[in-house]
Amino acid sequence: MSKELVARWYSKISETEKDLPLLLVDNYAYTPRMAYSEVMNGSALGAKLQSLIEMGKFGTSALDEQAIAKVRLQQILQSKPDKPMFATLSNKVYTPSELMQEIESGTQLGAQWLNNEISHMSNIVRVR
């Protein structure tokens, strides 16, 4: 397999995605930017990360998936201005911090975002 596949994958994902934890090797989570750097340097860790990217997997257990998904959403939402940005057609409006509260409290709304984040991670690692 080639480094080109990793380079192509890396070039297609957004700048924010490049800095969100995604790939798990030996209980450590790596962002796409870290993975790209390791793969391009040809390290042993890079080979493991490259293998995950080629297989379109992020290498986690169900428990890890939930934890990584929460960290990813935290990272995205904490960087936003705290103004109403998200609304639903059940007449509710949320600021990023209010949405994060829902996620941390494990409400139905929070679970909706958390579960979606796991499937989003899957979509990101399979970008070609």
| Interacting residues toward other proteins by CB under 8 A | 12-17, 76, 80, 83-93, 108-109, 112-113, 116-117, 119-120, 123-124, 127
Report in angstroms how near the CB of residue 21 gets to other proteins at its nearest.
Answer: 14
Cβ contact 21:71 at 8 Å = yes
**Which of 45/98 has CB closer to other proteins?**
98
The vertex-42 CA angle with 120 and 118, nearest 5°, equals 10
Q: Which two tokens stand for residue 33?
A: 């930017």
**Which of 11/41 has CB closer to other proteins?**
11
**Which of 105/112 has CB closer to other proteins?**
112
- Alpha carbon of 12 to those of 3, 23, 72, 128: distances in Å? 15, 17, 19, 8
Report in angstroms how near the CB of residue 83 gets to other proteins at its nearest.
Answer: 8
